[in-house]
Amino acid sequence: MKLRSSTLAFVALGLAAAGFAATFVDAAWQRERDAIQIAERSALAARLGLTDLALFTEARYTRHPSQADLHSAFQDHPVALEHFPTGSLLPPPASLVSHHERLDRKAAPPD
Amino acid sequence: MNAWIEKQRHLIDFTLASLARRKAKNLGLLLVYALLVFVLASVALYTHALRQEAAQVLKQSPEIVLQRMVAGRHDLIPPGYLEKIGRIRGVQSIEGRLWGYYYDPVVKANYTFMAPAAEAVKPGTLVVGPAVARSRGLAPGNTISFRAYSGKLFSFTVVGVLPHASELVSADLVLMGEADFRAFFEYPAGQHTDIALSVANPLEVRTVAAKLASALPDSRPILREEVLRTYASVFDWREGIVLALLSAAIFAFAILAWEKASGLSAEEKREIGILKAIGWETGDVIKMKLWEGGLISLTAFLAGFVAAYLQVFRFGAPLFEPVLKGWAVLYPRFELVPAIDGLQVATLFFFTVFPYMAAVLVPIWRAAITDPDSAMRS
Amino acid sequence: MIELKQIRKAFNQGRPNEYWALNGIDLTIEAQKVTAFRGPSGSGKTTLLTIVGCLARPTSGRVRLAEDEISGLPERFLTDIRRSTFGFVFQQFNLIKGLSALENVMLPAFPTGRPHRELRERSEALLDRLKLAHRREARVEWLSGGEQQRVAIARALVNDPKVLIADEPTANLDTTLSREFMGILEGLHAEGRTVILTSHDPLVVESAAVHRVVSMRDGQLTEG
């Protein structure tokens, strides 16, 4: 007798769920396996006082986003630490912007 | 209980049999659905792992890095600053750091030159990062020359290559002795690039930073927690860009799924009428449809997620790597350590499975309360 | 067995196109007999059938099934009664396209949660009895009209109902197939089932297999 389709569905779903569970197991296993390397990396970072990932070496504000000057080129807002590619699509939240006083206020000529 | 299970199995049998009638169409939908989950899950897994990686590195980085600003630009720390800071309470250790960038015209890439205080590199020798070693073909014992910005040529012997495991943070590093560093860049004696401070008590970091800012008004303290936040937002930003690009596809699928799931054809309405006439309750019809929606969306979610995991953590994320981590001439080669954020997975589950279930359920509700005698009147 | 009292049924009640399909029907249908409703189209015989079979509720009047008043029952109980007491053979057969004959036969039993094996065996036996065993895996749309009707009959019998309801069973059949259907009908009666059908086919209403013919016109009975 041929298998019921609900049986097939449960088997398929069970396999998928097992695969899903396996991803968590695999993640834990890989972390365990790479534990020494992770520790090595952390140790090097600690020893040299590294502050950034060496992902983008093109410019200082991309190689060391956290160490770039506050007002270096292409920075669109003082509260943004620049990263690559440059600029942002959206303005920073108003709550951050409102902290900045209008610098020209005192310079405005009194009437 | 057995009867209940048997009934659910009957309903599943029926819903699968009716799905099988339009096999190509339904398999296509399942495939597109799984593909969408796959893409979303890939992006989420990848960025989360990268964020974790950054957090791991930053956990070890100095609590405060102090820069000096001149006319709004990063400048060297003059002698005497270290001593001034020494008097601030709560600071555990102070270290003047020496580092800078060097553009290598041979491979058209920037290196980060560094004279580590913790690690004495002998004069005339270098320890290079794995990506530098790779791009210049270096091995311990080789000699390499760099033309300094002053025009002078300096030759060094490579005595070590940093381990591959640390490539993500050390790819472009060139470590040298302090004397060599100062000579190479003609760095004035007694001056430093910046100052790294370690503060024992995390609660005091902000106070120390405030004291630094008032004691040295031309300085800019960079706190580790700020950096951490910045990194999180860098990858959030990249994730966001990808999701924004994908949003068109997501909406397209949403329309497709809604259309497919909610657009009851006259044929399906007729079938529901028949089922009710031959003894199915409204609840049975709804349960049957729930199973349909549940099976499709759950299968798509699980399959898509597993495929995404394999793609990202087993096959090196070939599909989204460029846009998610960016690119560079001197790019580190690294395997991401898998990290799965349970909340992220739950969110993904919620936003992919439930809307589909709802799309299936809403119209069926309306159809299922039609009178059973419609079957007789047709 | 089934007792109808002052049954009236309106469609589109309260609207300009209000239409009374049934106008005061008083009727008792005996158990284990074959009863036919005869009348021209529009006479209300199909509507009466839906009320007898618990597919619809009368606008007014009472329906009693084996001494139980059922016209006031909520939908859920009505469905229960319909599933366990009545089997339906529709004029257009109303099989679910794309499914096999066997799957179609099993459908009415799905909500009962009967064990799959038992249900399958029962359905196969029914198809076998109706000489359709060789066609059980075929999709219903590939079957001929006569075969489709026999699948519909098997489906109506799968829950072993006391009453079989057939709406114009011979409307889509030729003479040979109609006679064959009457043969099946006799077999059902011999098993002790009650059969209620509508027809204006002389072959049906004048057949010896039909014990009682109820004539209708304009929503009322014209003779007992």
Contacting chains of B (3 CB pairs or more, <8 Å) are A, C
pLDDT tens readout for residues C166-211: 999 988 889 999 999 999 999 999 999 999 999 988 888 888 889 9
CA C168 to chain centre: 9
Q: How far apart (Å, rounded) are the C-alpha atoms in residues B229 and B236?
A: 10
Rg (CA), chain A: 26
CA B165 to chain centre: 19
B61/A49 touch (CB, cutoff 8 Å), yes or no: yes
Mean pLDDT across B268-295: 88
Inter-residue contact B113 to B184 (CB < 8 Å)? yes
Inter-residue contact B15 to B288 (CB < 8 Å)? yes
Residue B26: how many CB atoms within 10 A of its CB? 17
Query: Following DSSP, what letter does each residue of C109-148 receive, concatenated?
Result: GGGGT--HHHHHHHHHHHHHHTT-GGGTTSBGGGS-HHHH
B169/A9 touch (CB, cutoff 8 Å), yes or no: no
Q: How far apart (Å, rounded) are the C-alpha atoms in residues C119 and B10?
A: 10
Buried-state track B325-361, b at ≥16 Cβ within 10 A, e below 16: bbebebbbebbbbbbbbeeebeebbeebbebbbebbb
Residue C61: how many CB atoms within 10 A of its CB? 18
Total count of domains within chain C: 1
Chain B: residue whose CA lies nearest to A60? B101
Inter-residue contact C193 to C15 (CB < 8 Å)? no
Closest of A17, A27, A35 to residue B309, by C-alpha: A27
Q: How far apart (Å, rounded) are the C-alpha atoms in residues B376 and A76?
A: 71
Inter-residue contact B144 to B180 (CB < 8 Å)? no
pLDDT tens readout for residues C107-126: 999 998 889 999 999 999 99
Q: How far apart (Å, rounded) are the C-alpha atoms in residues A61 and A86?
A: 9
Question: For B139, phi and psi rounded to 5 degrees?
Answer: -140, 160
A47 chain-B contacts, CB cut-off 8 A: 116, 118-119
Closest of B358, B357, B364, B363 to residue B294, by C-alpha: B357
C189 touches chain B (CB under 8 A): no
Tokens describing residue C44: 């209300």
Contacting chains of A (3 CB pairs or more, <8 Å) are B
Q: How far apart (Å, rounded) are the C-alpha atoms in residues B40 and B129?
A: 34
Q: Chain-wide mean pLDDT for chain C?
A: 90
Q: How far is CA A3 from CA A11, A109, B11, in A?
A: 11, 89, 16
CA C163 to chain centre: 8
Q: What angle do CA B259, B261, B266 make, to 5 degrees?
A: 80
Q: How far apart (Å, rounded) are the C-alpha atoms in residues C7 and C42?
A: 16
- The proportion of chain B whose per-residue pLDDT surpasses 70, expressed as a percent, equals 95
| Longest pairwise C-alpha distance within chain C | 53
Inter-residue contact B320 to B44 (CB < 8 Å)? no
Inter-residue contact C184 to C176 (CB < 8 Å)? no
Respond yes or no on whether ipTM tops 0.85. Answer: yes
Inter-residue contact C45 to C213 (CB < 8 Å)? no
Question: What is residue A93's predicted lDDT score, i.e. its pLDDT?
Answer: 60
Inter-residue contact B233 to A88 (CB < 8 Å)? no
Is it true that domain B63-224 has CATH number 2.40.40.20?
yes
Tokens describing residue B242: 């990808």
CA A72 to chain centre: 21
Write the CB contacts of A82 (distance below 8 Å, at least 6 apart in sequence).
A61, A62, A65, A68, A72, A74, A75
Question: What is residue C215's predicted lDDT score, i.e. its pLDDT?
Answer: 92
B330 chain-A contacts, CB cut-off 8 A: 54, 57
C55/B281 touch (CB, cutoff 8 Å), yes or no: no
pTM (2 d.p.): 0.80
A60 chain-B contacts, CB cut-off 8 A: 101
pLDDT tens readout for residues A29-67: 988 888 888 888 888 888 888 887 777 776 666 677 777
pLDDT tens readout for residues B204-251: 888 888 888 888 888 888 888 887 877 777 777 777 777 777 788 788
Write the CB contacts of C93 (distance below 8 Å, at least 6 apart in sequence).
C148, C149, C151, C152, C172
Tokens describing residue A101: 């006083």
Q: What angle do CA B53, B59, B63 make, to 5 degrees?
A: 140
C101: left (phi over 0), alpha (psi -120 to 50) or beta: alpha
The CATH code of the domain that includes C94 is: 3.40.50.300
CA B203 to chain centre: 29
Inter-residue contact B377 to B302 (CB < 8 Å)? no
pLDDT tens readout for residues B303-337: 999 999 998 888 877 777 666 665 566 677 777 88
B18 chain-C contacts, CB cut-off 8 A: 96, 98-99
| Residue to substitute from B110, B161, B220, B353, interface A, most A β-carbons within 10 A | B110
The structural domains of chain B, with segments of one domain joined by +, span: 2-58+230-377, 63-224
pLDDT tens readout for residues B151-189: 889 999 999 899 888 888 888 899 999 999 999 999 888
Mean pLDDT across A80-107: 49
The beta strands (E) that lie in B263-332 are given as none
pLDDT at B63 over 60: yes
B60/A40 touch (CB, cutoff 8 Å), yes or no: no
- The proportion of chain B whose per-residue pLDDT surpasses 90, expressed as a percent, equals 15
CA end-to-end span of chain A:
97
Inter-residue contact B348 to B305 (CB < 8 Å)? yes
Write the CB contacts of C132 (distance below 8 Å, at least 6 apart in sequence).
C101, C147, C150, C151, C154
